[in-house]
Structure 1
Amino acid sequence: MLFTRISSEDLRRRRLFGVLQGVASGFGNRVLGVVIAFVSIPLTIRYLGPERYGAWVMLGSLLAWLNMTDFGLSNGLTNALTSAVSEKRFDLARTHVSNGVLLLCLTSLAFGLLGVFLWPYFDWSALFGVTSPGARAEVGTAAAVLLVIVFAQSPLSVTVKIYNAFQEGRLANYWAMLASVLGLVALLVVTQSQGGLPLLICSVYGSGLLVSLASACWLFAIHKPKLAPSWRSVDLHKMRAITDVGLQFFALRAMALVTFQSDYFFIGHFLGASHVPQYSVSYSLFSYVSLPQTIASAYLWTAYNEAITLGDIAWVKKTLRANLFLGLSFAAIAAALLACIAKPFIVWWAGTNVEPSTTLIGWMAAWCLIYAYANSFACLFAAASHLRTQVIYASVATCSNLLLSWQWVQHWGVEGVTASTVVSYLVFICVPVYFDCRSLFAKLDRRTVPSPARETK
């Protein structure tokens, strides 16, 4: 089932198979990533040394922010493309692909030119806190190489959206697995040749760029040639289908980054950098509780969108209830089990200096349930492009979290930061999202679009 193509005319069955194949291959991709990280981290530390390895990690952390430079356009493309494919309007789908590639190329070019203009004003050595002559000589070049690769790869992200739109997310995962393996091979070669930090960045991240390019060539030349982007297919009037929704995705993603990245700032500023590890290690450990649901979200997203486009709202409701039940059940069981072993495991894994308190573990477990609940609705809202009200109450939640974190970290320490996130999301996300969902379904129920899925039932 994992490697077979989905050709069933039963749309509901095809959606289910698409989600299951995507989840299974996505889980395999994550497991492969964990294994590769287990092998590569000690190699990289020994090769680079503590200071240059710290610069390597910080350069990697820039990716979360650099991914914001597409302004949510790739997410906007997901909905527009999936709707067109669901209606079998492949000329429109090609238009959306062409528009998406053009927009992503323009944003990459704009940020690339901005980077060239601002480059002389950046002191990368001071920014990354490196002091040795070797590290100071390499870090600026390494940053430049990373920026070039990221901006070059941005337009190629449309391939993943196309795979998902056709319920073929497994293909994107196979290409990602290939990129991971080639990245490990590149790391082994560079560490043996003593190539330096810039060459390591170029080889490891560049291998991902080459795989993305190969995926695009195969997709547009062999697998889906009718969707290949072209100048003739660009339609400026239809770009709003991508940009309007994309900017709302951008706003939501920006608020999420502010919410979670600010926690480290508050802890470091008020308590000292030595308190950051117990929070970051605990958060990293409990984040694995949400891994299955996170993997499934990408494939449920396009499945929801197709069902909504075809008017199969009954399937959407049934799937949402199943996702909520399974997500919350797994999160509750996994978080409870993890809470029992978290403290001794973290002490064994990271040392006694980062041992979290029982209270912090409790708040982390509570956050797992909050995330499982909110993420189930967020996936549906994303698929339905139902984002405007979500932006409003997410903004309130972000402001509440910042204010409470600032206050509570000074009174209750690291536990206060986590508590502020749980309380803010519980009040300003979990409660409004329930009523927002009812409003969405009321709107969808008023639609009269016939559903082929119902006809084949």
Structure 2
Amino acid sequence: MRPARSWSSATADACRRAPWNAPMRSALQRLWPSLGEHRSAEQRREGAIVRTLVSVYAVKVATVTSNFLVIPLAAGYLGLEKYGLWLSAASLMSVLALSDFGLGNNLTTALAQARGRGDTQGVAHAVSATLWSVAGVAGLLFIGFSVVHRFVDWAHFFNATDPMVAREAPRVALLVGAISALQLVTGLTQRIYAGLQEGYWASVWQGAGVVAGLLALLAGIHFRGEPFVLIAMLGLVPVAVQGVGLAVVLRRPELGELLRPAALHRRDITAVLSGSALMFVVNLQAVFWLSKDSLLIAQTLGLSEVGAYNTAFRIFQSVFMLLAGSLGATLWPAYADAFARGDRAWIRRSIARSLKVGGGAMASFALLFVPFGGKLVAWYAGAGLALPVLPLALLGLYFVVLAGVNLLSFPLMGAGHVAVIAWGGLCGGLLSVPLAYALMPRGGVAALVAINLGCNALFQLLPLIWKNRRLGNI
């Protein structure tokens, strides 16, 4: 009796017989791996990139849509100062997220390089050692934060003037610590899928978290929840969804018994920690650039000024992640795979294409949004959240430069050359903070954006161009 064929095998035969033209067949083979046979490493790599980008862009569109819904709903319901507390708490969560010491980023590169070498045992050992290391770090983080929490005047830290907001601040801060500790562990879901070049599954779980978070916000507003309740829902619900995704990926047979603590080896832990040191500095400088601003504005100009800047920043950041950030992150494990195989020609082609597509798209959006952005924000979220033209224009230019930085960083991360990213970004971030405290009282938000722009270009963009040229990548 003839054995039954799988659905994917039958589909592959049908596609090969179908009178499709070559471009259509090539596109379908990239989206569905089983439609092509005997594919080269480059074809498999590019197929994974296409599938991941399609899924990532779908999720980013959902995220942007969610942000546009969340901003007017939350700002209108809470008011400017409570809304500012919410945004500042989110920034604090991003600061605490760097406390995994670069373990997650290192895992992505290690997995992709191990797959490029065909080292299946290396994949399993990297996941196991990283998982238990991150779990230990998360536990220590929450214990330490809980001890320090009682000695901090959180109302003063958030610069809260409303008595109700001041009372909520300590509880919000403790909640932030708990959510951040959980995020360290559940965030490995995206790192594992990315390193396996299956980022499309990470997008599925991320999209589910976005939808669940929006539903949680609507439920909180419907039941008249206070800032503490809303922050809890928006933080814990997506984390729970990511936790389910982590449980699913860890059930893969190739991981086997290596997930048991007894199966750990000291050499695996040592290798993970040594490879994560510079990745931790990369995380640190990334937080300086993307998450420090709300706290700086709250402490120098007041919580009521956070909303306008953060609204414009989140719009640019959402588009940046859609156009440049997602492209760079998707290429990251592919660069690591290509470096492991010695495919330098593909790396050069991919960097050139990513700069044209991602950088050009970001510049086009900035040119279109800056002239009308303030009016659009005032129309849909209220005049109190509209940013003046000058800081808006500087913010647009800042994100164009950031697109170049992002797209030039990931080839170096894939190759393991992260020192220039780590130390250049950290030096620029550290310099920007005292400059902001000195100049913002007179220059306002525009001074902050101008400082970020100058430090970013001088300490990140120029060194990255130099390093990539030296390696022959551009």
- TM-score, length-scaled by structure 2: 0.80
1:209 paired to 2:239: yes
1:318 paired to 2:311: no
**Aligned to 2:259, what secondary structure does the other structure show?**
coil
Deviation at 1:110, TM superposition (A): 0.9
Amino acid at match of 1:311: G
Deviation at 1:341, TM superposition (A): 2.4
C-alpha distance in 2 between matches for 1:392 and 1:271: 29
- Conserved? CA contact 2:52–2:198, under 8 Å: yes
C-alpha distance in 2 between matches for 1:41 and 1:209: 21
1:170 paired to 2:193: no
C-alpha distance in 2 between matches for 1:360 and 1:130: 26
Amino acid at match of 1:427: L
Give the direction of change, closer, same or farther, for the CA distance of 1:189–1:410 in structure 2 (3 Å limit).
Answer: closer
Q: What is aligned with 2:33?
A: 6
Amino acid at match of 1:158: L
Deviation at 1:11, TM superposition (A): 1.8
**Aligned to 1:121, what secondary structure does the other structure show?**
coil
Amino acid at match of 1:424: C
C-alpha distance in 2 between matches for 1:94 and 1:32: 33
- Conserved? CA contact 1:251–1:391, under 8 Å: yes
Higher mean C-alpha deviation, range 21-30 or range 301-310 = 21-30
Percent pairwise identity: 22
1:430 paired to 2:461: yes
1:231 paired to 2:243: no
C-alpha distance in 2 between matches for 1:417 and 1:94: 45
Higher mean C-alpha deviation, range 315-324 or range 31-40 = 31-40
Higher mean C-alpha deviation, range 365-374 or range 290-299 = 365-374
Q: What is aligned with 2:395?
A: 364
Q: What is aligned with 2:376?
A: 345
- Given candidates 328, 335, 338, the residue that maps to 2:359 is 328
Deviation at 1:336, TM superposition (A): 1.8
Give the direction of change, closer, same or farther, for the CA distance of 1:395–1:181 in structure 2 (3 Å limit).
Answer: closer
Q: What is aligned with 1:454?
A: none
C-alpha distance in 1 between matches for 2:316 and 2:363: 12
Q: What is aligned with 1:453?
A: none
Structure 1: where are the runs of 5+ without partners?
445-457
- Conserved? CA contact 1:182–1:207, under 8 Å: yes
The RMSD of aligned alpha carbons is 3.5
- Conserved? CA contact 1:167–1:303, under 8 Å: yes
Give the direction of change, closer, same or farther, for the CA distance of 1:324–1:270 in structure 2 (3 Å limit).
Answer: same
C-alpha distance in 1 between matches for 2:30 and 2:217: 29
C-alpha distance in 1 between matches for 2:75 and 2:458: 43
Amino acid at match of 2:449: T
Deviation at 1:359, TM superposition (A): 3.9
Deviation at 1:329, TM superposition (A): 1.9
C-alpha distance in 2 between matches for 1:321 and 1:205: 37
Deviation at 1:409, TM superposition (A): 4.7
What is the 5 A alignment of 1:74-153? 74-125=104-155, 127-128=157-158, 129=160, 132=163, 140-153=170-183
| Residues 125-180 of structure 1: per-residue CA shift (max 9 Å, x gap) | 554537556x6666544544443343234223222222112221111111112222
Give the direction of change, closer, same or farther, for the CA distance of 1:263–1:34 in structure 2 (3 Å limit).
Answer: closer
1:69 paired to 2:99: yes
C-alpha distance in 1 between matches for 2:455 and 2:464: 13
Give the direction of change, closer, same or farther, for the CA distance of 1:89–1:269 in structure 2 (3 Å limit).
Answer: closer
What is the 5 A alignment of 1:254-403? 254-259=284-289, 263=293, 279-291=309-321, 292-349=323-380, 356-402=387-433
C-alpha distance in 1 between matches for 2:217 and 2:328: 31
Deviation at 1:273, TM superposition (A): 6.5
**Aligned to 1:221, what secondary structure does the other structure show?**
coil
- Conserved? CA contact 2:97–2:183, under 8 Å: no
Higher mean C-alpha deviation, range 232-241 or range 160-169 = 232-241
Give the direction of change, closer, same or farther, for the CA distance of 1:261–1:190 in structure 2 (3 Å limit).
Answer: closer
Amino acid at match of 2:451: S
| Residues 285-315 of structure 1: per-residue CA shift (max 9 Å, x gap) | 4334523111122211011001111111111
Deviation at 1:378, TM superposition (A): 0.7
C-alpha distance in 1 between matches for 2:132 and 2:414: 23
| Residues 175-199 of structure 1: per-residue CA shift (max 9 Å, x gap) | 1122222333444445555666555
C-alpha distance in 1 between matches for 2:166 and 2:296: 29
Give the direction of change, closer, same or farther, for the CA distance of 1:34–1:252 in structure 2 (3 Å limit).
Answer: same
What is the 5 A alignment of 1:408-423? 409=440, 413-423=444-454
Higher mean C-alpha deviation, range 222-231 or range 244-253 = 222-231
- Conserved? CA contact 1:278–1:355, under 8 Å: yes
Give the direction of change, closer, same or farther, for the CA distance of 1:383–1:198 in structure 2 (3 Å limit).
Answer: same
Higher mean C-alpha deviation, range 33-42 or range 387-396 = 33-42
Higher mean C-alpha deviation, range 116-125 or range 312-321 = 116-125
Give the direction of change, closer, same or farther, for the CA distance of 1:207–1:5 in structure 2 (3 Å limit).
Answer: farther
Amino acid at match of 1:284: R
C-alpha distance in 2 between matches for 1:280 and 1:118: 28
Give the direction of change, closer, same or farther, for the CA distance of 1:88–1:130 in structure 2 (3 Å limit).
Answer: farther
Higher mean C-alpha deviation, range 107-116 or range 283-292 = 283-292
**Aligned to 2:278, what secondary structure does the other structure show?**
helix
